[in-house]
């Protein structure tokens, strides 16, 4: 394929690093496909959740009993803000070669991500303290699984970030590393999109229903 056709969706490295941009093409494309596959997983968990939230309550807590809108609001703010900071990190990845600015934005993203996880852990702990454990009903199983799976993804993203940061400190901002940061940013944005769906279907619908 000629170089002119290599215009992958996402941050374009073409100006600063044409060869890297060329390499980015198949790699980023493959990662988009992976994200699609991961989204199917979340879609199915959401579908299972929506079935269970109606038919799986089994006399136990209902969606409105387990949704804390204030907490969800803070979580949403943290995660959306982290999407902004990782966007800034992507720009640093594109325009700066020394990696310092990239590190700063990533650090901020990590703090926001950890804050999000801490809030979610608090939510889970308070549910469990109330006796709303996942073993109690199909609905609670689905609730914990959907949110837990998302949280697991966020945690995996943070771990990935940590590995990349260690590599960055060891080798500097190499081309391969640049491409990995691009993929990490995509992954992080996807988790945001999933969260928007969760916020809508779990928290807003739950609180309204």
Partner 1 sequence: MSEELLYWLAGDLRWSDFPPKADMIATIAALIVVAGAIGVVATLTIARRWRWLFDNWLSSLDHKKIGIMYMVLAFVMLLRAVIEAVLMRIQQALSVNAQGVVSADHFAQLFSTHGTIMIFFVAMPFISGLINYVMPLQIGARDLTFPFMNAVGLWLSAAGAAILMASLVIGEFSTGGWSGYPPFTELAYSPGEGVDYWIWAVTLSSIGTTLTGINFATTIYKERCEGMHLFRMPLFCWTSLCTAILMIFAMPPLTVATALLALDRYAGFHFFTNGAGGNMMNYANLFWLFGHPEVYILILPAFGVWSEVISTFSGKRLYGYASMVFAVMCIAVLSFTVWLHHFFTMGQSTNVNAVFGIATMLIGIPTGVKVYDWLLTMYRGRIRLTAPMLFAMTFLLCFVIGGLTGIILANPPVDFQVHNSLFLVAHFHNMLIPGTLFGMIAGYMFWFPKAFGFRLDERWGRIAWACWSGGFLAAFMPLYWLGLMGMMRRTAISFEAAYQPWLNAAWAGAALIVCGIVALGIQLVVSVRRRSDLAVPVGDPWDGHSLEWWTPAPPPEYNFARRPRIEDTEAFTNAKRDGRAYHAPPSYEDIEVPRNTLIPAGIGAAGFVCAFALSWHIWWAALLGLAAMWAGVVLRSLQGDTERVIPAAEVQRQNEAWLDCARQTAPVTRFAEVERINRGRAMETT
Partner 2 sequence: MSIETCTNADCSGSGHGLLSPAGLIAQIQQDHLIQTVLIVSVVIVPVFIALPLLLWRYRLARQNVYSPEWRFAWAPEFVIWGVPVVIVGFLGFSLWHTLHRIDPYRPLGTGTEPPLHVQVVGLDWKFLFIYPGEGIASVNELVVPAGRQIAFDITADGPMMSFIVPRLGGQIYAMAGMRTKLHLIADAPGSYRGLNTQYNGQNFARQKFELKAVGPDEYRQWVRSSRNGPALDMARYAALAKPSVIDRPLRFGRVEDGLFGSIVAAYHTADRQPGDRLSSAGDTHR
Using CB under 8 A, list all residues that contact partner 1: 1-2, 25-27, 29-30, 33-34, 36-38, 40-41, 44-45, 48, 51-52, 55-58, 60, 134-139, 141-142, 144-145, 163, 167, 171, 180
Q: Which is nearer to partner 1, 19 or 58 (CB)?
A: 58
Residue 189 binds which entry of partner 1, partner 2, none, with Cβ cut-offs from 5 to 8 Å by kind? Answer: none
Q: Which is nearer to partner 1, 76 or 187 (CB)?
A: 187
How far is residue 200's CA from residue 169's CA, in Å, rounded to a whole number? 39
Q: Which is nearer to partner 2, 57 or 108 (CB)?
A: 57
Query: In terms of Cα–Cα distance, which of 105, 62, 51, 104 is closest to 83?
Result: 105
Alpha helices in the chain (DSSP H): 18-55, 63-66, 69-95, 100-129, 138-171, 175-198, 205-208
How far is residue 167's CA from residue 159's CA, in Å, rounded to a whole number? 13
56 interacts with partner 2 by CB under 8 A:
no
60 interacts with partner 2 by CB under 8 A:
yes
Tokens of 93: 């990845």
* Residue 136 three-state SS: coil
Neighbours of 163 (CB within 10 A): 12
Tokens of 123: 């939510």
Closest separation between CB of residue 84 and partner 1, Å?
26
Binding mask 117-146 for partner 2 (x = CB under 8 A): -------------------xx---------
Residues at the site binding partner 2, with contacts judged by CB under 8 A: 58-60, 136-137
């Amino acid at each position: 394929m000629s170089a002119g056709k290599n215009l992958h969706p996402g941050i374009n490295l073409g100006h600063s690093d044409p060869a890297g941009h060329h390499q980015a093409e198949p790699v980023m494309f493959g990662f988009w496909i992976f994200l699609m596959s991961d989204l199917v997983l979340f879609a199915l968990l959401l579908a299972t959740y929506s079935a269970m939230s109606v038919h799986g309550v089994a006399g136990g807590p209902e969606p409105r009993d387990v949704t804390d809108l204030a907490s969800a609001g803070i979580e949403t703010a943290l995660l959306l803000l982290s999407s902004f900071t990782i966007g800034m990190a992507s720009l640093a990845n594109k325009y700066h070669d020394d990696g310092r600015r990239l590190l700063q934005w990533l650090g901020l993203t990590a703090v926001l991500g950890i804050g999000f996880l801490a809030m979610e852990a608090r939510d889970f702990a308070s549910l469990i303290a109330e006796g709303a454990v996942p073993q109690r009903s199909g609905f609670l199983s689905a609730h914990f699984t959907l949110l837990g799976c998302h949280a697991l993804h966020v945690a995996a993203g943070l771990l990935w970030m940590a590995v990349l940061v260690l590599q960055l400190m060891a080798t500097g901002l190499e081309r391969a590393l640049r491409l990995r940061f691009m993929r990490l940013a995509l992954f992080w944005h996807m988790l945001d999109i999933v969260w928007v769906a969760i916020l809508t279907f779990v928290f807003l619908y739950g609180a309204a229903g």
